[in-house]
Structure 1
Amino acid sequence: MSTDTPPPPASPPLPPEQPAPAKKSRTNLVIVGAAAAVIAAVVGTGIVVVQSSNGDSKPAATPKASASTAETVSETTEDSAATYADLDADSFSIDLKTKSRQCFGSAGCNVTVEPDLTLMVDSSSVDPDATYEITYEIKGDESGPVIDTAELSDQTSLNYTPSLIQTVSSGTEVTIKITDVTKMG
């Protein structure tokens, strides 16, 4: 009894194909981690910017790892509900600063003056988002009072244009007084 058996194969049979190991979950983990880092950096930068623009010693809202969203919103609301002083003419002291004077004997003088304003209230009580128009009147010009306006913004930044007046003589007294303060914005 002889049976014919086929000769053995030259190489062992190939095992069934196995799928490649999945790296997708690790890739997703890296993407989520990177996104979380970017979001944390943006939030951190925003807090620093708000802190520096407010001029406060603390951020407008300090997120805490264990704080709930309601607590963080409550802190933000309390900080944004700050009240500021109502500025009026009595909130400032004003003097004139003479920048230049050119006199012509008995014909009078050309005088360039600027307002020298002093805030009489704490600057932190001034609304940092508002601009205040401070209207003032200069007396001593030969053709009558000169009315001009300065703008106070960012609590301490004052903008104005120097005034050129002409006096009738070198002995003319030039005076200034605030006539109105208006809050814009």
Structure 2
Amino acid sequence: MSTPTPPQPDFPPPLPPEPPKPAKSCTNAIIIGSAAAVIAAIVATGIVVVQSQDKESAPATTTASSAPAEDLATTAADEPEPEPTYSELDADSFTIKLRTTDRQCFGSAGCNMTVEPKLSYLGLTDDIDPDAVYEITYEIRGGDSGPVIETAELSDRTSLNYTPTVLSTASASTKVSVEITDVVVQGQ
């Protein structure tokens, strides 16, 4: 005879509990913590660098004023920046020499030569107004035709514009000299 089978229950048997997951190692926490520390170090370094650059460009010392802050703001706004002052230039402000750029001699007939002014300022170039144009008049002596008067223009403190001068001399040994006679600021 066969043994009767017990009746089936109305609901399925409970699932066996899942075995607990093994604890993850602390590697995730270590990685996240390390990344946060590196980011914090980079940000802190950037702040220190920016602050040190700001300190280098700031004046070394500052002084406090006893005037109220309102007075300082109004006074600074009311006072215009002082105009820079430049030296007054005259003939004694420069030295001049002649540079011979071309010479053709013809025995006893003398020489033809081309000369250019070589000008030097005796002060600091910062003393010269960069916006002014100075007309520097000079006289060349030693040519057969007598003294020659020329003018050069000095602008932007260092730019000298002139026309080369052609002279005839009695011989190759004739000395040619130059002297500044006047310095005038254009427009004055």
User: Residues 114 and 72 from structure 1, CA distance in 2 versus in 1: closer, same or farther, beyond 3 angstroms?
Assistant: farther
* Correspondence for 2:152: 150
- 1:71 paired to 2:98: no
* Correspondence for 1:184: 186
Percentage of pairs with the same residue: 57
Structure exhibiting the larger radius of gyration computed from Cα positions: 2
Structure-1 separation of matches of 2:85 and 2:75: 23
Q: How does 1:87-106 map to 2 (within 5 A)?
A: 87-106=89-108
Q: 1:71 Cα shift?
A: 2.2
Aligned Cα RMSD in Å?
A: 1.9
Q: 103, 115, 118: which one pairs with 1:116? A: 118
Structure-2 separation of matches of 1:147 and 1:106: 27
For these two proteins, the number of residue pairs brought into alignment is 117
Where 2:115 maps in the other structure, the secondary structure is strand
Structure 1 counterpart of 2:81, one-letter code: T
User: Residues 91 and 77 from structure 1, CA distance in 2 versus in 1: closer, same or farther, beyond 3 angstroms?
Assistant: same
Structure 2 counterpart of 1:166, one-letter code: S
Where 1:148 maps in the other structure, the secondary structure is strand
Q: 1:121 Cα shift?
A: 1.1
Q: 1:77 Cα shift?
A: 2.1
Q: 1:153 Cα shift?
A: 0.7
Structure-2 separation of matches of 1:150 and 1:162: 10
Q: 1:73 Cα shift?
A: 6.0
User: Residues 107 and 184 from structure 1, CA distance in 2 versus in 1: closer, same or farther, beyond 3 angstroms?
Assistant: same
Q: 1:183 Cα shift?
A: 1.1
- Unaligned stretches of 5+ in structure 1? 1-66
Structure-1 separation of matches of 2:78 and 2:165: 49
User: What is the CA deviation profile of residues 58-103 of structure 1, one whole-angstrom value per residue up to 9, with x for unaligned ones?
Assistant: xxxxxxxxx95762563x522x2x1110101110010010001000
Structure 1 runs (4+) greater than 3 angstroms displaced: 67-70
- Unaligned stretches of 5+ in structure 2? 1-71
Q: 128, 146, 163: which one pairs with 2:130? A: 128
